[in-house]
Amino acid sequence: MAKSYDLLIIGAGPGGYTAAIRAAKEGLKTGVIEKEKLGGTCLNRGCISTKALLHASSMFSMMQKCDEFGVSADSIAFDFKKMQQYKKNAVRDYRNEIHGTFEKLGIDLIYGTATIRRGKTVEVKSDKGKDFYQAKHIIIATGAVPRPLSIPGADLDGVWYSDRILKEDKWKFDRLTIIGGGVIGVEMATIFNALCAKVYLVERAPHLLGPMDQEVSEALKEELTRRGIRVYCGANIHKITKEEGLICHISKDGEEILLRSGCVLVAVGRQPYTDGLFGEDVNFQMKDGKLEVDSEFMTSEPEVYAVGDVTADIQLAHVAAAQATYVVEKIAKKVHTIRLSVVPNGMYAKLPVVPNCIYTEPEIATVGLTEEAALACGMKVRCGKYSMGENGRSIISREEGGFIRLIFEAYSNNLVGAQIVCPRATDMISEMATAVAAGLNAGQLMMAMRAHPTYSEGIAGAIEDAMRS
């Protein structure tokens, strides 16, 4: 007889484990099905893993410049194997924390590959055989996998995806070509450049980071170039060949360019993962390769929901977690505690309140609308910009590049967007996200004092600049 649950969750990444924890706290009998490791891609092969390596490589890079701060060292070197072990330890500790919470709340963790059958029944195959489970509600949180590169030579030895490169503990990266200038590409470029690799970054679009504000993208390109990374935007890659290493054949502005390296990292995006998920007796609607859901995240099958990368246009861990919270609150008939978007009073433009964070040097963080997006909606805006070269904390740390740019609706002076390029930007953006979600205006944002010297003082400078326009 199938074991029954109030809620079954397929996938134990940020969307899955967030939903499980919230559901258990609401008194729902909850089970989570995971075919690999608790934590999903984000913890084991994505966000946490990458940020751990970014932290380690940043420390090495900083130590190379320590003499500027009056600190001396006889020799500075890095051990890539130990860096990878540090990353593994961070992942293990984080996973153990989640596992402990599951045990404390009585959440069942079921290992195996799930297939959804009719009547909200889930078949789970594992080494032990086949089991069946039933639930009143199901949440699909199976995430995404790297999108393959379809060109000649993409299957050559040495052409890797991020999952593989995060496992490698031997240094093979004196020269590295990265195909794709999205978040994964630019963060990986930052890591290996900090470790003194010669890095080539190839992006097909006209600028890095896809739909992000062009001024932000250009600032990032300038900084990466200043650090020695060769950036090729508006470039097409035609094939990869092997000849004393790997050669990427690209073209840019009509010119053929050969990039020679020991390893090629493919980072051209991720696609929803649904392999084996649907049985023949269920009918799930798909759109553009993603699971189609309504405004409440319900799929075409009643009481079966989907959250995170398997359905979202924005593939971020905190988006998956927020959507999961929203769905569980709906199932538990609780008042929603999170806002996924907001329509300000008297305005017709729907504002996204999703912070986008890129952990380069300097960090990049954005929320809400860019100026271009606001104008495209017919919104009149005031824009304010503050250069971090004027900021006391930036001068102290010798990190004087970057800026803070704020977008206000012209009549109400409500904040509708922010772009921050500077150290700690990924922490500072939370204040801006709160302001956008709450509909705060420039006057309200200026009421709070900001400590001196801090990077966040620049927010006041950007507000003042906007109000002078």
pLDDT of residue 347: 53
Mean pLDDT of 176-181: 97
Q: Name the residue among 170, 158, 177, 160 with its Cα closest to residue 229.
A: 177
- pLDDT tens figures, 361-376: 899 999 999 998 888 8
Task: Give the model's pLDDT for residue 345.
Answer: 56
Q: What is the mean pLDDT of residues 69-93?
A: 91
Angle, CA of 438, 440 and 443, to the nearest 5°: 160
How far is CA 118 from its chain centroid? 34
pLDDT of residue 341: 67
pLDDT over 80 at 2, yes or no: no
Asked if residues 251 and 235 have their Cβ atoms less than 8 Å apart, the reply is yes
Q: Which pLDDT score is estimated for 36?
A: 92
Whether the pLDDT of residue 103 is over 90: the answer is yes
Backbone phi, psi, residue 266, to 5°: -95, 120
Q: What average pLDDT does the segment 365-390 reach? A: 92
Q: What is the mean pLDDT of residues 27-39?
A: 96
Percent of the chain exceeding pLDDT 90 equals 77
337 C-beta neighbours (distance < 10 Å), count: 10
pLDDT exceeds 90 at position 346: no
Supply angle C-alpha 406, 412, 414, rounded to 5.
Answer: 35
In this prediction, residue 353 carries a pLDDT of 83
Residue 199 pairs in a beta bridge with 176
pLDDT 10s digits, 399-420? 878 999 999 999 999 999 999 9
Give the chain as a 3 state SS string.
CCEEEEEEEECCCHHHHHHHHHHHHCCCCEEEEECCCCCHHHHHHCHHHHHHHHHHHHHHHHHHCHHHHCCCCCCCCCCHHHHHHHHHHHHHHHHHHHHHHHHHHCCEEEECEEEEECCCEEEEEECCEEEEEEEEEEEECCCEEECCCCCCCCCCCCEEEHHHHCCCCCCCCCEEEEECCCHHHHHHHHHHHHCCCEEEEEECCCCCCCCCCHHHHHHHHHHHHHCCCEEEECEEEEEEEECCCEEEEEEECCEEEEEEECEEEECCCEEECCCCCECCCCCCCEECCEECCCCCCECCCCCEEECHHHCCCCCCHHHHHHHHHHHHHHHCCCCCCCCCEECCCCCCCCEECCCEEECCCCCEEEEECCHHHHHHCCCCEEEEEEEHHHCHHHHHHCCCCCEEEEEEECCCCEEEEEEEECCCHHHHHHHHHHHHHHCCEHHHHHHCCCCCCCCCHHHHHHHHHHHHC
> What confidence tier does 76 reach under pLDDT thresholds 50, 70, 90?
confident
- The per-residue pLDDT for range 207-238, each reduced to its tens digit, is 999 878 888 999 999 999 999 999 999 999 99
Which pLDDT does position 257 carry in this prediction?
Answer: 96
Active site residues: 452
Q: Rounded to whole angstroms, how far apart are CA atoms 417 and 406?
A: 6
Task: Give yes or no for residue 312 having a pLDDT over 80.
Answer: no
Whose CA is closest to 373, among 349, 401, 346? 349
Residue 89 has what pLDDT? Answer: 95
Between vectors from CA 234 to CA 186 and to CA 161, what angle results, nearest 5°?
A: 40
d(CA 319, CA 433): 13
Task: Return the pLDDT at 333.
Answer: 94
- What pLDDT is attached to residue 241? 97
Going by pLDDT thresholds of 50, 70 and 90, the confidence category of residue 336 is confident
The pLDDT assigned to 459 comes to 96
